[in-house]
Each structure stands twice: as C-alpha cells, then as structure tokens.
Structure 1
Amino acid sequence: MQLLQQTIDQIQGIDRQMEEKARMYIDSLAKPPQSLGKLESLALQIATITGDLAPKIDNKAVIVMAADHGVYEEGVTPNPQSTTVFQTLSFPKGTTGMCTIAKISNAQVIPVDIGVKEDLPQDAGVIIKKVKYGTDNMAKGPAMTREEAIQAIEVGIEVATEAIQNGINLIGTGEMGIGNTTPSAAVLSVLHGCDPLAVTGFGAGVGAGGIEYKAEVIRKVIALNEPNAEDPIDVVAKVGGLEICGMAGIFLAAAANRVPVVVDGYISTVSALIASKLNPNVKAYLIPSHLSEEPGAKIAAELLGLEPMLHMNMRLGEGSGAALAFPILDAACSMITNMVTLEEAAALLVAK
C-alpha cells in the first residue's frame, strides 16, 4: 500500500503554462490553424506532458499484463483457458497479433505474468510477478482480497517505473487473459451504475448462453459481492481482475513520471478508469487509441472524457490498438519538431 499511495501522491496536474506555450507554438507553424486536426491535439498533449516542444517518443513499449479468471468456471466463454498460457509465452517470440503491429514502430513488448493459472518457465522472456494463480470465481465470492488487488496495482507500478528508468518514453497498455471482458464489464457496470447488459459484449467469444447469460452472471456477481462504487479498489478486488489492476498501476506510474501512456481498448480503458478514480490527474496523461467493438468501450471512454482516434472494428486486445496508434503519435511529434514556423518560412523566402 505504501508504493501505491506514494505514486498517487506523486501525480501532479499538467503544467498549464507549458500547455499554453505549446499551443502558441503549434499555432505559429507554417499551416492554417488546426488544419492538422487531431495531430495538433496529440502534439500539444505530448509536448505538455513531457515539457518539451521537440518531444521524443523514440523508445516505446507495450506492457502486457497476463492473468486468468476464476469466473471462467461459469461458462462465460468457450475458449480454452490454456490460451492464456500459450499466448503469454508467444509475446516474447513476437508472434501475436499485437507484436506484429508493434514491430512497425520498433516498440518493445514487455509481457508480465501477474496471475496466469499455471507456472511459466523462468527463462521464457516473461517477467514473473504472479500475485496468485488467477482470480477466485467471483460468482462464489470476491475475485481477490483487497490486499491482493493493491499488490497487483503495485506490480504495474513497479514494471512501468522500471521501464521508464530504462529509457522508455512512451508506454502502451496491453493484457492477456481468457474471460477478462467479464470482469471488465462488471467493474464498468458498478462504476457507471448501469445494468451489465449495457456494457457486456462478445469478447473473444461467448459461451452457449450468449451475451444475455454473460450479463446475468455479472448481475449475480455484483449482487453477491456488493462492491462499493465509491471505492475503486473495493470494486476491482471484488469483481475485477489481476491484469486490470496491473494496468491501472501502469497508468499511475506513467502519470507520476510524466510519461505519455496509450490506452488500448475496452479492458485497458476500464483499467484507466480505475486509475483515474484513484487520482483524477491521471486523465491528462492518457492518450486513447482505438474504439473497441465491445459495447462498454465507448461508455468507459466517455466516462474518462477520451475520444479514441481510431475506428478499426478491432477487439483483439493485447495492446493491439495502442501499438497501432504509435506511428500516428510519431507523426504528431515530427510535426511539432520539424515543421518550420510561418516566420521561419518567410525568412527562408527572403533569403532566396
């Protein structure tokens, strides 16, 4: 709890003077004002976060939190739980969907076992930070204890902080865990105060009962565990997941270290919502990537005040949307770094 509280306390609001300086500089570039649309907004945000009018995001990483879920026992997905293991072991090999996208921008992939149900080989290239062997079945009781939830958040803080200390200057969030759209929908349903059906989707595949059954399981989970919507740690402990906690820790660490962090899809956005409940200043450091096909993704983004930049009909997870957004962020930084101002352009004409 000490690391978590220290990190929360460390997070400051953005520098408004720097924001205004960056805005004025971008407006002075050789183009009509706002003609580059969201590229300008992204450049403004990254320059403000980093405090640099020529921001560098040349050392990127997607941190992938992997964990299993006890609620799998309720038949919410037909996919074998063993998928979590072989996909987690595939990240170091660079063969997953997200990894192939991350290669485009030379981003590192940092996989973390925060709660996979099986033991993974120590030499597989996965960081082993296992809090427990998957969550407990939240249809029969809390997914984890409050202490385990805090421990999992602190794992995210530790991994992200170490990456930043090693030179990472742009982080994307990712996850791997069969069944994890169920706890994501449960957490969002509690925080938004809505019926689970409104935020429950197909995920990577629904069980025989379909989405209605999946939503009914979530209703029972919430009724049984009675999570306190005013206490985000209570919510994520009772009806959440270990990787959801881990990603929340990544967001907190990035904000505390003034490093921009890219939010992936549904599960990542729910994690960002948890982090922002712990410290609202986190929101200023979040860069949304894509709008997931999951119905709760739009609701979660709206609660955070985020507008995803990509609409690609994706729902893979893993951090795939975050990795896909990296080249766009490179373009935004190139714009603010390399474009001449109107004054400079005029001077060049005179010099000729």
Structure 2
Amino acid sequence: MIRFEDPASFAQALAELPEPDAPALDAARARQADLTKPAGSLGRLEDIAVFMAGWQRRERPRADRIRAAIFAGNHGVATRGVSAYPPEVTAQMVANFHAGGAAINALTAACGAELAIVALDLDRPTGDIACRPAMSEAECLAALNAGAAAVSDESDLALLGEMGIGNTTPAAALAAQVFGGSAQDWVGRGTGLDEAGLARKAEAVTAALALHGPYCNGAFETLRRLGGREIAAMAGAALAARHLRVPVLLDGFITCAAMAPLLADNPRFLAHCLAGHCSAEAGHVRLLERFGLDPLLHLGMRLGEGSGAAVAAQIVRSALAAHGGMATFAEAAVAGAA
C-alpha cells in the first residue's frame, strides 16, 4: 500500500513517477494495426485501448475490475453561503450512497464498478479558507493517505469522485492559484447558486488567494491551505494509482481541481489519467484545456459523485472489448490493406 509519511515523502512520490510500459504500448499498437478494420476507423477507442495497455503492461488490457472511490468532506467556507444547499446535505447524501439510492450507485452498477464511499470527518469541517488554512499538516496527510488507501493494485481502472457541500469554492481557489486569473474566472453556479451567492463565492475565493497565495509553494501546501479533505484524498488516490500503475478516469471540476497542484509540481502527472467528461461548470472547461485532456463525453452533467466518470467507463469497456475481441486479418482470412 502506498503511504505518505510526511510532506517530503509526498513530494518525493510526486517527483518519481513511473511511466507506461513501452513494450506493451508497441504490442497494443501492432495489434490495432492488424485487426479487421481500416486503420484508425475506431477513432479514440483505439487510443484508449493503447493507453490502457501501457499502464496495465499487457497487450490486451482489461476492465473487469473497476473501482470507484467517492470521497466526502465538509468545508468551513460553506457557512459563507457559497452553496445553494446547507452543509448537512453532505452527510445526508453519504447515507444515501450507503443505502444505494444515489446516481453514482445506479451508474457504477451499470458499468460494473465496485463502489467505495470514504467519508472524511464530516462532523469536523475544514477551516474557512477565506480566513485560515483548510487543514493542518497532519489533517492534510491523513486525507492524502485516506485517498491512497482507497486504491487497489488489483484494479484495472480507478474512478475518482467526491461529495462535499461548498466544495466548488476551494476548487475554484485551487484552479486560480495554479493557473492564474481572478476568482470570477473560475467560480460558477455549482448546484444552482443565485447571483448573490455567486458574488459571495467570488469574494471568498479572492480572500483565500490573497491570504494563502504567497505560501502555496508546492502541491502539499496548496492542497493544505486551499483544498479540503475530499479534495486532498482524490489527489492522494491519483498519486497512489500512478505508482500502482492503475489508470484513472477523472470526473468533474472538483476532481480535476484536486489534480491541478500536482500537475504544477510535475507536468507528467496526468499521463495515467483520462478525462471522463466535460461538465456544465465553466471552470471545468478551462481546467481541461490547461490539462491538455480531451474529455470522452460532453453530456452537460454537473452532479459530481464520480457520475461522469462512471458513464465514461462504459466507453473504456467498449474500447477494450473491441481491442481484445476482434479478429486479426490473418485469423479471419480477410485480405488486409495493400
């Protein structure tokens, strides 16, 4: 199991990233070239199959064991009226997850994924980032390690998602800190905020950037000061997945914002990640552009919970079914291209 003992070990793990397996990539490309279809005719499905092969280190990758890890946390900044919903909804939705009544329950069942719900100190919201750090060093490490512990080296694919009332505010702060721009460039309506609430959100992000920006000198400090427990957990899960060579499907704005500080420290960090979808949150569009990731789906979703990643997992399964199940020209006795 991957574990970060201190900020230095987290930074070392982020600096020393494994790469995809070159022989597996070559073998998968060769297989694609020999399948009974015109070259490139399955478009991105071919690219997905090769991507998965490189991380799984096999010519014919699988998606038999998909694990969806959904992290939940509460935020001190939510008391500023930055969400259309009250903070107690986080715990209520976690109960709904466990009861099987949420969208992510239905969508993970549809794509055949195991669902893990990790609630992180819901009775202890993070600090209000507009006036203090979100977490202490120990709290941030605990969240990172909770994320790392949720990833299994037996998984073929990991889906990451979150639940946390008010968490689009720290997500906007993280995006602005890493990529620049004003609070207004990154805040959005989230779950349906009105104009007054949108203004309060922008004010909170502006205050947080002014207070913490000078001290955000690396991924750990940026997550600790501006993030949240579920946000740090997703960062820890994605980093652990990289070291376990488990490819990752990212969900929406908050999930991607959790990746931004890690990408700032190591530009190669997202090489094991696919963007599951592009949400209706404007900040998500901007993040994906800066990540250089082309999302698999554009469905206008804005729920969170890992829901977009779960739908996109069906695309990955289709890509691998074609890659592994089609016959080659020789097997089918079909003449290849001249």
Fold shared by both chains (TM-score > 0.5)? yes
Q: How does 1:251-262 map to 2 (within 5 A)?
A: 251-262=238-249
Question: What is the aligned counterpart of 1:221 among 192, 203, 208?
Answer: 208
Match of 1:11 in 2: 17
Contact 1:71–1:138 (CA under 8 A) maintained in structure 2: yes
Would the alpha carbon gap of residues 5 and 191 (structure 1) be closer, same or farther in structure 2, given more than 3 Å must change?
A: closer
Match of 1:67 in 2: 73
Q: How does 1:229-308 map to 2 (within 5 A)?
A: 229-308=216-295
Contact 2:24–2:59 (CA under 8 A) maintained in structure 1: no
Contact 1:196–1:219 (CA under 8 A) maintained in structure 2: yes
Contact 2:178–2:264 (CA under 8 A) maintained in structure 1: no
Match of 1:153 in 2: 144
- Alpha-carbon distance between aligned partners in 1 of 2:334 and 2:170, rounded to the nearest angstrom: 58
Shift of 1:151: 2.4
Task: Kindly provide the CA deviation profile for residues 234-283 of structure 1, in whole angstroms up to 9, marking residues without a partner as x.
Answer: 11111111111000011111111111111001111111223334544431
Match of 2:159 in 1: 172
Question: Are residue 89 (structure 1) and residue 80 (structure 2) matched?
Answer: no
For residue 57 of structure 1, give the secondary structure of its aligned residue in structure 2: coil
Match of 2:35 in 1: 29
For residue 92 of structure 1, give the secondary structure of its aligned residue in structure 2: helix
Task: Kindly provide the CA deviation profile for residues 129-169 of structure 1, in whole angstroms up to 9, marking residues without a partner as x.
Answer: xxxx1211112211112332232112111221xx33xx332
Question: Are residue 78 (structure 1) and residue 69 (structure 2) matched?
Answer: no
Match of 1:129 in 2: none
TM-score (norm 2): 0.92
Aligned residues: 330
Would the alpha carbon gap of residues 106 and 245 (structure 1) be closer, same or farther in structure 2, given more than 3 Å must change?
A: same
**Range with greater deviation from structure 2 (337-346 or 195-204):** 337-346
Question: Are residue 52 (structure 1) and residue 43 (structure 2) matched?
Answer: no
Structure 1, gaps ≥5 residues long: 119-132
Contact 1:263–1:272 (CA under 8 A) maintained in structure 2: no
Would the alpha carbon gap of residues 310 and 44 (structure 1) be closer, same or farther in structure 2, given more than 3 Å must change?
A: same
Shift of 1:299: 1.6
Question: Are residue 134 (structure 1) and residue 125 (structure 2) matched?
Answer: yes
Match of 1:128 in 2: none
Question: Are residue 320 (structure 1) and residue 307 (structure 2) matched?
Answer: yes
Structure 2, gaps ≥5 residues long: none
Shift of 1:90: 1.6
Contact 1:171–1:260 (CA under 8 A) maintained in structure 2: yes
Contact 2:170–2:228 (CA under 8 A) maintained in structure 1: yes
Task: Kindly provide the CA deviation profile for residues 93-152 of structure 1, in whole angstroms up to 9, marking residues without a partner as x.
Answer: 221111111111221110001231x2xxxxxxxxxxxxxx12111122111123322321
Shift of 1:12: 0.7
Task: Kindly provide the CA deviation profile for residues 37-59 of structure 1, in whole angstroms up to 9, marking residues without a partner as x.
Answer: 11111111001111112212111
Question: Are residue 20 (structure 1) and residue 7 (structure 2) matched?
Answer: no
- Alpha-carbon distance between aligned partners in 1 of 2:280 and 2:334, rounded to the nearest angstrom: 49
**Range with greater deviation from structure 2 (299-308 or 199-208):** 199-208
Q: Which amino acid aligns with 2:332?
A: A
- Alpha-carbon distance between aligned partners in 1 of 2:297 and 2:146, rounded to the nearest angstrom: 29
Contact 2:218–2:261 (CA under 8 A) maintained in structure 1: no
- Alpha-carbon distance between aligned partners in 1 of 2:265 and 2:39, rounded to the nearest angstrom: 36
